[in-house]
Structure 1
Amino acid sequence: MRIFGSFLATGLLLLQSLSSASPLACPDSIDCSFTRADVSPAQVARELGRKLSRAVLIYGPGDSRYTEAIARYQQYNPPNIQIVVQPGTEEDVAEIVKYANKNSIPFLTVNRGHSLISTLNRFRGLQIDMASLRAITINSGGKTAWLQGGAYGQEVIDTLWARGYVATTGSCACVGILGPGLGGGYGRYQGLHGLVSDNFVTLRVVLADGTRTTVSQRTNPDLFWAMKGAGHNFGIVTSVELQIHPRNLSTWYYKNYFWTGDKLERVIEQVNRLSNNGTGPVQMALQSGTYLMDPTISTTEAVVAWSFGWSGAQRDAARYLAPFDAIPAVRVQDGNIPYTQIPQAQGSGVDDPLCATGFSHQHGHAGLWQWNAKTQRAIYDLFNRNIQARPAFNTSLVLLEAYALQGVKAVNPSTSSFPWRNAFNVMGVISVNYRPDPSLDAAAFRWRTQTRDLWRADQPGTKPLTYVNYAYGDESLESIYGDSLPRLRRLKAKYDPHGRFSYYNAIPAGK
């Protein structure tokens, strides 16, 4: 089903050896730091492969699998991956980390490659690709399930739904469970069950030194706190025990509207009323607005599209959507469908543009209390001017997200490092999208910054607030981690003093 989405159009350098003689392997009894400057993928396979399971894969740029393995959603400033190691078991991950540390090889763990951050070009080294670790096991009693570190949204949704369960996942079906979850994890079921990280029960983690450990409220509770909001900085989660919930519904209802730009103010007024400062109906799981170009409607200005996902029956949603029905739309789509199809219906399915690889994205983000119609008009007009000036930007988007918040705000903020539980109600994202072209980077960044600054100006006297999974890389750490930052810095010194996990909104060690 292609519905809404069809319109959402340091370390050591790992170098191939230049001589016929290979460098000597590093004996286990010797620390070979800064000695392996010419280690090749083939040699890593020989040295490391013998310590790993038979299912492991190790290859480099000369392999036919390499291009697909390093494909990313964010192609602006990508990491420089010299070697790919795909563990076949959870135990393999620890051995890979130990080997990389012994040989001073930086490592970066990748699940689905959907991070937005623009600073990964600082990385050059070995990619730990979690693609083979995707097992999903429902525990007896049906209260929790074990998900391996490579599991992603759509397969978790499909597997659990077929067994009569649901779980908190990110809103994009293509992203991993743990990518969003380690940063908190916004998603459609959060109004009922909280953030993805609020549903963590137990984590199996490989620490920076290659140690395997269990993390939960009872075991390593300080690290458990850190992993629920800033987990990318502290370890590799090889599997997570996640709370699951009876699905209780056979279908969800969705409704997508497409309006011309002259309706913008009326739409914003009704959206704010529906959200009601974060207290709107819990069944309105996600309402997502988008400014985008749709040449079937207009070639000169953006369409204002809005998608509503309702966890329940159409008849119950009708009274909340009646004000939007009263605003004349160019096109309306709706339906009662299983939850497994809702991501695609709302434009965030695995085959939709929000999941496509190979584009540069200059994006900016702001957390806000509500939408300001005057500001949204300015952002809309800015969007149109930039598209007209540079048609190469014509797949760009402005996203306006509002999730149900009751389940998030019901959780005690002290239980996790996620800092923004009660700080904002809606989120704005500008994503300037284009095929990689350095000549366009400056203009794209300027547009992105202007849009973000318009949102920030809406809240005078309030410090900028950034959801870590939407961060670009130029935000302050205080705007990302809030009041949790001092404690996170102390825990960084305890668990990762040498900064092995420092490529994603890195937290420096501190006292």
Structure 2
Amino acid sequence: MIKAMFQTWASALLCVSLSVEVAASPTIRERTTDLRALLTDPARQWAANTTVSFPGSTNFDNATERYSIFNQPTYSAAVSPGTEGDISKVINLAKSYGFPFLARAGGHGGANMTDFGDGVSLDLSKFNSTAIDSAAQTMTVGPGVHYRDIFDPLYNAGFYIQTGSCSCPSVIGVAIGGGVGRLMGKLGLTTDALQSVRLVGADGIVKTVSATSYPDLWWAIRGAGANYGVITSATFKIQPLSNNNGGNAFMLDFVLPAEKSLEYLNIIEKNFNPMPVNLAGIIVFNWNSTHNVVIVSDWIYFGTEADARKALAPILALNATFITATLPWNRIIAVSGGGSDALNCMPNKLRNTFNLNLKTYSAAGWQQSFETLTDFLQKYPGGRGSQVILELFANNATAAVPSSETSWPWRDVRGFFQELFVYDTGDSVTAQGAATYGSQLRSQFAAYSGYSTPTVFVNYARGDEKIEDVYGADKLPRLAQLKQKYDPNNLFAYGHPIPLSYP
């Protein structure tokens, strides 16, 4: 029964490290350019390893694949560059001929992209190299490198790094929007590990951006990077496994019935508020065909089993069937949560999300949302793959970085609320119910999030939020100034765009 419940979780769990997408041109325009003729003209002189594709081909399907098909962009062509020069070429062609393009790394963006149509997918999947420098303790990756691609190489070299909670997003795509996950208490955000990037700007010129080279742009890309160019490689600081219990962590997974929900949530608020630095929990409310709505939990402790059991003692006192294991760092995502990662990462699924930041933990508030979700799942059988997800993370290392260091605005965050609605394409009844209940749940969580407004960091933003609630009102004036400086024609203007002026 426990395994079946975790499989139910796996069938719909939101991959909790969504990455941002980089796009050009602010609105759908009537296209006057024949993209096929333009992109296949011999005058383009594409590199031999660059691929140009169009609808109806396998190459095009691969170059436009997306994690979620909810409110997705539409394309008329795709270019998969093999060189930085061909990325520059696409940017310059877009400026000259006025067509929109969307840079695609992991294809994991979840924002509303219905205002992007009839454009070009700038597919970065060929930039998929990984290089580890053990002496310098750094890793350099391209935008086509997914988290799953770095786990074994890093671990086998004796290192680890902070990541999101699933394996499929682009490492760079996550990092330029912040990058949250189980290790943000110990190591900080993924963006905090960045050392430098290579970026093709709106001028088509390749720049090395770091603390000493374009330092103003360096500040901006660590939190709002999708607005300033296309990153072709990034170098990250990595950590020795010897600093993390040899790379081993303790996992505790279990399922609770609805009648134990408030008891369990009270335990969390009382004992894990704030979260211990080595501990991280992911809590899921979802439907089970046998037990109706249940709570599925996955806890990871970065340390010894003995220390983990002490930290988790209040939870272990529950009358529940526990699944425990000691996992090496490179297997945590694959094994935890009932091995849900493989299903979580299936592409081209309808995933309609409403997300928020959390600064405080509220058992009473969470229980209210548990009951609201229960109401939705009982009324809308077509939406029974839907769920509420609570990511509860320590923030010690994240909060230790001065806010002024990067453009990422939410360093006091200690968790994340996600409402994931899953239903069949064309099910208009459930879609309307999801819209109603999604807004209701988001409002409920906002009321006890600890923030005065419904804030959400950019990787989790839906697209209907106020810009101040995504980028922070204190960050926006500088971000807008840098947008005017580095992208004055607003070339990169989809997916939570920074304005050219603010306020």
Is this a same-fold pair by TM over 0.5?
Answer: yes
Matched residue, 2:163: 169
Asked if 1:395 is matched to 2:390, the reply is no
Q: Map of 1:372-383 to 2, 5 A cutoff?
A: 372-383=362-373
One of 40, 47, 58 as aligned partner of 2:52: 58
Matched residue, 2:492: 501
Distance change in 2, residues 1:349/1:67 (3 Å): farther
Residue identity opposite 2:249 in structure 1? W
Aligned residues: 481
One of 300, 310, 316 as aligned partner of 2:307: 316
Q: Distance in 1 between matches of 2:113 and 2:167?
A: 24
One of 338, 356, 359 as aligned partner of 1:366: 356
Distance change in 2, residues 1:498/1:123 (3 Å): farther
Asked if 1:38 is matched to 2:29, the reply is no
Q: Map of 1:16-415 to 2, 5 A cutoff?
A: 37-40=33-36, 43-47=38-42, 50=45, 52-139=46-133, 141-248=135-242, 249-277=246-274, 280-284=275-279, 286-295=280-289, 297-298=290-291, 301-329=292-320, 331-347=321-337, 351-415=341-405
Distance change in 2, residues 1:463/1:7 (3 Å): closer
8 Å contact kept, 2:193–2:237: yes
Give the Å deviation of 1:150: 1.3
Residue identity opposite 2:257 in structure 1? T
Q: Distance in 1 between matches of 2:99 and 2:208?
A: 25
Asked if 1:435 is matched to 2:424, the reply is yes
Give the Å deviation of 1:196: 0.8
Q: Distance in 1 between matches of 2:28 and 2:339?
A: 37
- Provide the secondary structure at the position in 1 that maps to 2:446: helix
8 Å contact kept, 1:112–1:152: yes
Give the Å deviation of 1:373: 2.1
Give the Å deviation of 1:457: 1.6
Q: Distance in 1 between matches of 2:399 and 2:87?
A: 35
Distance change in 2, residues 1:6/1:243 (3 Å): farther
Deviation track 1:227-263 (CA, whole Å, cap 9, x = no partner) reads: 0111111111100011111112142211111000111
One of 448, 451, 459 as aligned partner of 2:441: 451
**What is the TM-score when the length of structure 2 is the normalising length?**
0.90
Deviation track 1:166-199 (CA, whole Å, cap 9, x = no partner) reads: 1222222111112221111112332222111111
Deviates more, 1:438-447 or 1:254-263: 438-447
Distance change in 2, residues 1:48/1:233 (3 Å): farther
Residue identity opposite 1:307 in structure 2? D
8 Å contact kept, 1:197–1:229: yes
8 Å contact kept, 1:5–1:344: no
- Provide the secondary structure at the position in 2 that maps to 1:142: coil
Residue identity opposite 1:435 in structure 2? D
8 Å contact kept, 2:162–2:184: yes
Q: Distance in 2 between matches of 1:404 and 1:148?
A: 29
Distance change in 2, residues 1:250/1:462 (3 Å): closer
8 Å contact kept, 2:160–2:329: no
Q: Distance in 2 between matches of 1:361 and 1:12?
A: 23
Matched residue, 1:7: 9
8 Å contact kept, 1:359–1:436: no
Matched residue, 2:478: 487
Q: Distance in 2 between matches of 1:59 and 1:142?
A: 40
Q: Distance in 2 between matches of 1:173 and 1:48?
A: 39
Residue identity opposite 1:464 in structure 2? P
Q: Distance in 2 between matches of 1:339 and 1:397?
A: 27
Deviation track 1:422-481 (CA, whole Å, cap 9, x = no partner) reads: 2x3221111111122261432211111000000112258812211111111110000011
- Provide the secondary structure at the position in 1 that maps to 2:494: coil
8 Å contact kept, 2:28–2:115: no
Distance change in 2, residues 1:12/1:372 (3 Å): closer
8 Å contact kept, 1:120–1:504: no
Q: Distance in 2 between matches of 1:90 and 1:139?
A: 23
8 Å contact kept, 1:123–1:503: no
- Provide the secondary structure at the position in 1 that maps to 2:185: helix
Distance change in 2, residues 1:510/1:12 (3 Å): closer
Distance change in 2, residues 1:490/1:14 (3 Å): closer
Distance change in 2, residues 1:380/1:132 (3 Å): same
